[in-house]
Amino acid sequence: MKKRIIISLVVQLFLCGMTKTFAQKLDSIQSITNDSVLFNEDEFKGLALPPLEVLYQNAAKSPDIRLSDLRIKEQKLLLSKEKRAWSTYFSLGSGYFHGNMGMFSSYSDATTPLMSQYSGQTTNNWQVGASFNISLESFLDLRPRVKRQQVAVEIAEAQRDVVIDQLHTSIVELYVLAKLQISLLKLQAQALIYANAMFKMLEQDFLNGQKDQSDISVGKSIQSKAQESYEGSKSTLMNSLLRLEILTKTSIVTRPTTK
């Protein structure tokens, strides 16, 4: 009976000691995480993605859409030209003359010596004319050419819609990816914080002789993987944000100010 009481007391003391040690370690981890500056880089401070509608509106300034608009304008100008093609069948001409007109004459016969005479006057002459020249092939193709050019305008407008759809699709993909990476980055930042804290505790336990070299190796491996995951997500997020800026002409990432 006495042995059971002694064993029970020893177990309780051991559990109390373990609980106290574990609580101290948790307090140590908490103090380390509070001092961490991870996920506090300047470019991510106050990061908030604009609404998709804002990005769509700003994307209208992109070179691809601008190029599509110019192509539509070009095709419409060609359509106007085709509608006026009938005017090529007519031509007008005019001329103006100003100067002196004179006539020189001479006369002689058997009884009359050679006689010369000159007469002249200043004149102004206007000439106006019109001509009509038509090619039967060109005339018969006049309306079909107009219709073909109308189709060319519709094709240019459809191509613009395709460009806009492709641009919006790319924006949505990058937007969703950025949202996901923001959430993952926060989680991985927390995981890295705890991995760093646990490794510091392992180092302290190793110095106190409570852990061996294999424990340190395992802890370092966990820390390295957490760091790699964090940096990878940060790189992917930055890539998505910068590509969004290019596509939408919208400033998203905070740039450090230069003094």
Using the 3D structure, point to which of 132, 157, 191 is the last residue of a domain.
132
Model-level pTM?
0.63
Please name the residues in contact with 25: beta carbons below 8 A apart, sequence gap of 6 or more.
Answer: 201
CA distances from 201 to 22, 35, 67, 99 (A): 11, 15, 61, 114
| 243 and 146 assigned to the same domain | yes
| 106 and 160 assigned to the same domain | no
Token readout for 47 is: 């990061």
Cα–chain center distance at 213: 52
Instruction: Annotate 173-211 with DSSP letters as a single string.
Output: HHHHHHHHHHHHHHHHHHHHHHHHHHHHHHHHHHHTTSS
| 112 and 42 assigned to the same domain | no
| 123 and 141 assigned to the same domain | no
DSSP designation for 37: -
Is residue 35 included in any domain, yes or no? yes
What gap in Å lies between CA 220 and CA 197, rounded to an integer? 11
Using the 3D structure, point to which of 81, 114, 132 is the last residue of a domain.
132
192: domain CATH number is 1.20.1600.10
For the chain, report the end-to-end CA distance as a whole number of angstroms: 79
The domain tally of the chain equals: 2
| 60 and 153 assigned to the same domain | yes
Is residue 8 included in any domain, yes or no? no
Q: Across residues 149-159, what is the average pLDDT?
A: 95
Residue 130: pLDDT band by 50, 70, 90 thresholds? Answer: low
Taking only the tens place, the pLDDT of each residue in 173-226 is 999 999 998 888 888 888 888 888 888 888 888 888 888 888 888 888 888 998
Taking only the tens place, the pLDDT of each residue in 18-27 is 334 444 444 4
Percent of the chain scored above 70 by pLDDT?
63
| 75 and 199 assigned to the same domain | yes
| 122 and 176 assigned to the same domain | no
**Domain of 165, in residue numbers:** 29-90+136-248
DSSP designation for 27: H
C-alpha angle with apex 140: 138 to 144, nearest 5 degrees?
Answer: 95
Is residue 154 included in any domain, yes or no? yes
